[in-house]
Amino acid sequence: MPKLIKNQDIIDDNYQLLETAPAADQPLPEGNLLVPLTDWLENQQRYVNHQGSVGVWLDSHEEPELLAAQIQSLPVIAVNFPQFTDGRGYSIGRLLRERFGFLGELRAIGDVLRDQLFYMARCGFNAFAIRADRCIDDALNGLKDFSETYQAAVDQPQPLFRRRQMQAE
């Protein structure tokens, strides 16, 4: 079974990612599924009776706002990084956490490499599907690049200047 970094640990990934939705007359695969955003929005009925859990994945150009209404019903939201240089997913992560209050697993998928993990974690991602050709144990180190940060973000909602201030008081 493929591996996943989740909450700083390496675990088995027990979700199957469906790149495209199965045709309407086809049965759904068994087990936990990650289905495309548009499909989930259009065909929710289809997933209501599914045996496994159903999460949603969205691409970097898609609007996380579309999930806002039902966000708490989702166990997993995955955001695709089509190329590691495509930084839209970082904004999407923060919006899902900070604006829409998503509490479940937020997973980075696609071109996910060690040197992005620190930033992704700051933007609210707690799960990382490392690109298959890379060593996941090595990638885990990427979460520890810095012990201190300046800005407010999901992992540290108080910017350094406020924490400095509290220290000084």
Partner 1 sequence: MYIYDQYDQTIVDERVTQFREQTQRYLAGELADAEFLPLRLQNGLYIQRFAPMLRVAIPYGMVSSKQLRKLAEIARKYDKGYVHFSTRQNVQYNWPQLEQVPDILAELATVQMHAIQTSGNCIRNTTTDQFAGVAADEIVDPRPYCEIIRQWSTFHPEFAFLPRKFKIAVNAAKQDRAATLVHDIGLYLVKNEAGEIGFKVIVGGGLGRTPLIGTVIREFLPEQHLLSYLDAVLRVYNRYGRRDNKYKARIKILVKALGTELFTQKVEAEWEHIKDGATTLTQQEINRVTSHFSVPTYETLPATSQQLAQQLADDPNFNHWYQQNVNAHKVPGYSIVTFSLKPTGVAPGDVTDKQLEAAADLTDQYSFGEARVSHQQNLVLADVKQDDLYPLWQAAIQHGFATPNIGLLTDIICCPGGDFCALANAKSIPIAEAIQSRFDDLDYLHDIGELDLNISGCMNACGHHHVGHIGILGVDKKGEEFYQVQVGGNAGSDASLGKILGPSFAKEAVPGVIAKLLAVYVNQRTPEERFIDTYRRIGIKPFKEQVYAKAH
**Angstrom distance (rounded) from CA 87 to CA 91:** 8
**Cα separation, 159 vs 157, whole angstroms:** 6
Least distance between partner 1 and beta carbon 18 (Å): 25
Q: What does the alpha-carbon distance between residue 143 and residue 5 come to, in Å, rounded to a whole number?
A: 10
Q: Which is nearer to partner 1, 32 or 60 (CB)?
A: 60
Q: Which conformational region is residue 12 in: left (phi greater than 0), alpha (psi within -120 to 50 degrees), or beta? A: beta
Nearest approach in angstroms of CB 148 to partner 1 is 5
* Closer residue to partner 1, CB minimum distance, 51 or 141: 141
Min separation Cβ 133 and partner 1, Å? 10
Which of 18/160 has CB closer to partner 1? 160
DSSP secondary structure of 128-162: E---TTS-HHHHHGGGGS-S--SS--SS--S-HHH
Query: For the chain, what's the residue count?
Result: 169
For residue 74, give both structure tokens.
């989702």
Nearer residue to partner 1 within complex by CB, 29 or 101: 101
Which residues of the shown chain bind partner 1 in the complex (CB under 8 A)? 84-88, 90-92, 94, 99, 113, 115-116, 118-120, 122-123, 145-153, 157-162, 164-165
CB of 9 to partner 1, least distance (A): 21
DSSP one-letter string for 121-135: HHTT--EE---TTS-
Shortest distance, position 166 Cβ to partner 1, whole Å? 11
Q: Quick one: 52 or 87, whose CB is closer to partner 1?
A: 87
